[in-house]
A and B are shown apart, each in its own frame.
Chain A
Amino acid sequence: MLTNISNVLRACAQRNGSVALVSARTYADFTTEASFEIKKCDIHKFEEAPATEVVMTRDEGLKYYRVMQTIRRMELKADQLYKQKIIRGFCHLYDGQEACAVGIEAGINLSDHLITAYRAHGYTYTRGGTVKQIMSELTGRKGGIAKGKGGSMHMYTKNFYGGNGIVGAQVPLGAGVALACQYLENNQVSVSLYGDGAANQGQIFETYNMAALWKLPAIFICENNRYGMGTSVERSAASTDYYKRGDYIPGLRVDGMDVLCVREATKFAADHCRAGKGPVLMELQTYRYHGHSMSDPGVSYRTREEIQEVRGKSDPISLLKDRMLSNNMASIEELKEIDVSVRKEIEDAAQFATTDPEPPLEELCNHIFNDNSPMEVRGVNPWTKLKSVS
């Protein structure tokens, strides 16, 4: 009955051209929280798996939706800017994998730590960077999160250690952060992400060994998007059970397209680490819509049908949206409003990113050393002596 009244009100509002739609629906109309059945994780050397019946509140849902949509739109905007040659160099886009970044962050705290490889824009955002800072770093401006000096692969923020260009190198680094957490006894965990391609790196196995030996509070997460650049997992790995590759490290294989699955598994892993039980390995089965980077069309090693199928059946944002709508946790209009708001945020950020000036040349030699007195740096010829401050 209430619904009918509000539908009428809404219809009236539309005819009048007003946009105050949400206020026509009362808070009492929406379900504040609901239970969801999620896919069970495959487990390796665990006695039990993360819960399969989980609760999500309306607020959480709206937040996950907004963050995933922001990442999606931000990456698509980056695609546009790259094609206009406003972004240069390498640009590895994250669209399709949003549930991983958002789900992981939902399972940890901002006071925990995270490091990833070069497909890092999404994580830079979930870890606290703004779209404006990220986009202007991509366009190499002084307003960039690394003042234009890092670029796509080298973005940093509090408790987020990049953005790393060398495949696999971030994993020992992340375990080192975990060592610091253990040393300082701060009950924090360190999440180290890597891809299916990186999973075969020797230094990762070296890291598994030390993390397990010393029981570091490290969560190793393999984002398996099925392709390491142009090489499918079948062509690069003797064992594609990435969640088992840690051998003595307990592992979980998780549906990486479902933000709730990722969240539950991450919480499960973090609890394990915080209890001092040592590292955990998670494999998130996910997918990237774009190619490896902007220079890869992404269709020479996989079919357009495959991409379409994933988009149609497993898109993380659609999955969440359907869940929320079918459980009366939000209205289509409300979600559309979020879309509009996100689009505006991205447009504003892109506007800033294309108009902000490049870093001044005086900055060229700064930030070589921390806490150093100013020094001279040799320029391109012996007469060019450049100044460097910390």
Chain B
Amino acid sequence: MAASVRCFLRSGKNAVSALGQRGFHKSAPAAVQMMVRDALNQAMDEELERDERVFLLGEEVAQYDGAYKVSRGLWKKYGDKRIIDTPITEMGFAGIAIGAAFAGLRPICEFMTFNFSMQAIDQVINSAAKTYYMSAGQQSVPIVFRGPNGASAGVAAQHSQCFAAWYGHCPGLKVVSPWSAEDAKGLLKSAIRDNNPVVFLENELMYGVSFEMSEESQSKDFTIPFGKAKVERQGTSITLVTHSRYVSHCLDAAAVLAKEGIECEVINLRSIRPLDVECIETSVMKTNHLVTVEGGWPQFGVGAEICARVMEGPAFNFLDSPATRVTGVDIPMPYAKILEDNSLPQIKDIIFSVKKTLNV
């Protein structure tokens, strides 16, 4: 309950500021609450309807309605030809999906979780990402790889890895990581319409979270461009840069810190690759402090890349203290709840890091 109230307040604030920017409206836009999974469902439904060449394949996506119910109702509506249940053979079906993209279709290839994408990672990188370049522009690969990424709850080491850094490392891929329902819908529609391989990192724990959907986002042509981060909360004391589930954590931490007079600017990356460095730099040049927050491991991670980029650009000279990374603990994910809880950034960890960075 608290979570949804918080969400409403958060999105309510956004809706208000959006209104302010657009000017006075006689009546408030129709406020629609939508869960992230339904936003994803709607995005796929609209794109399947819009373009005959779009189809979805993966384990349990059809008759089971999706392992996490993200593709609920799609098989009933579109049938066997466009919603395809595959055997448990990731390397095979990812390759098949990419081949279909070579030959003119627009597949959405679902990995039940991105952990299983490791079985198929050669296809994603060597057959999908690199092909346009190797063929000097002759062979495009309009494919989306989507599925839940990162930690869930109690699923232990083999089912909890975050792949943002791994896929974000590779040229030829676009990598996006939505947070809100609006992010999910707009980014997924963009991904499906993109003629290039897109890795779409969802989050299982966000599927059931509701967000207010702006009027704009309710359109069938609503897309969010890649490479543009969103400032979810304006602030002046410090910049928090994050993606996916941790946007919620950062906003919660910001609410607590606000009571102590620390105003955090929270940036929702939305795109891992391309990274919106400009947005980060603009913010850091204003706040003079930077903390990155992610669920993935620290070494060679998203936060590490952000720090390196800030060092190389104009924002470095505006930093009053070194940037801080808040990350998952550098261990395989344990099972026991107390251990798992302490393996990932909690709100208190973000608050602690902010204060340390600000030296208060």
Q: Which residues of A contact B (CB under 8 A)?
A: 113, 115, 146-150, 154, 156-157, 161-162, 164-166, 169, 171-181, 183-184, 190, 202-203, 206-207, 209-210, 213-214, 366-372, 375, 377, 382, 390
Q: Which residues of B contact A (CB under 8 A)?
A: 55, 81, 84, 86-87, 89, 91-105, 122-123, 126-127, 131-140, 142, 171-172, 174, 195-196, 274, 312-313
With A149-B133, A180-B105, A368-B171 already in contact, the answer to whether A209 and B89 are too (CB < 8 A) is yes
What is the distance, in angstroms, from A386's C-beta to the closest C-beta of chain B?
12
- 26 A/B residue pairs, CB under 8 Å, sorted by A: A149-B136, A154-B135, A156-B134, A156-B138, A157-B138, A161-B102, A166-B126, A169-B123, A172-B91, A172-B93, A172-B94, A173-B95, A178-B99, A179-B103, A181-B103, A203-B89, A206-B93, A209-B89, A210-B86, A367-B136, A369-B174, A370-B132, A370-B142, A371-B140, A371-B196, A372-B196
A166 / chain B contacts, CB cutoff of 8 Å: 122, 126-127
A367–B102 touching, CB < 8 Å: no
Q: Kindly state the separation between the CA atoms of A384 and B205 in the bound complex, as whole angstroms.
A: 40
B92–A162 touching, CB < 8 Å: no
Among A149, A203, A369, the residue within 8 A (CB) of B92 is A203
Q: Kindly state the separation between the CA atoms of A207 and B95 in the bound complex, as whole angstroms.
A: 9
Q: Kindly state the separation between the CA atoms of A43 and B99 in the bound complex, as whole angstroms.
A: 29
B142 / chain A contacts, CB cutoff of 8 Å: 370
A154–B140 touching, CB < 8 Å: no
Nearest opposing residue in chain B for A166, CB measure: B126
- In the A-B complex, the 8 residue pairs with the smallest Cβ-Cβ separation, listed nearest first, are A176-B99, A172-B95, A206-B92, A180-B103, A206-B89, A147-B136, A173-B99, A382-B312
With A174-B99, A210-B93 already in contact, the answer to whether A150 and B135 are too (CB < 8 A) is yes
What is the distance, in angstroms, from A143's C-beta to the closest C-beta of chain B?
11
B132–A367 touching, CB < 8 Å: yes
Q: Kindly state the separation between the CA atoms of A107 and B360 in the bound complex, as whole angstroms.
A: 77
A169–B89 touching, CB < 8 Å: no
Q: Kindly state the separation between the CA atoms of A366 and B135 in the bound complex, as whole angstroms.
A: 11
Nearest opposing residue in chain B for A188, CB measure: B103
What is the distance, in angstroms, from A104's C-beta to the closest C-beta of chain B?
18
A169–B122 touching, CB < 8 Å: yes
A173–B102 touching, CB < 8 Å: yes
B100 / chain A contacts, CB cutoff of 8 Å: 176-177, 179-180, 183
Q: Kindly state the separation between the CA atoms of A146 and B97 in the bound complex, as whole angstroms.
A: 23
B104–A184 touching, CB < 8 Å: yes
A214 / chain B contacts, CB cutoff of 8 Å: 84
B134 / chain A contacts, CB cutoff of 8 Å: 146, 149-150, 154, 156, 162
A173 / chain B contacts, CB cutoff of 8 Å: 95-96, 98-99, 102, 123, 127
Q: Which of B84, B92, B274 has the most CB of A within 10 A?
A: B92
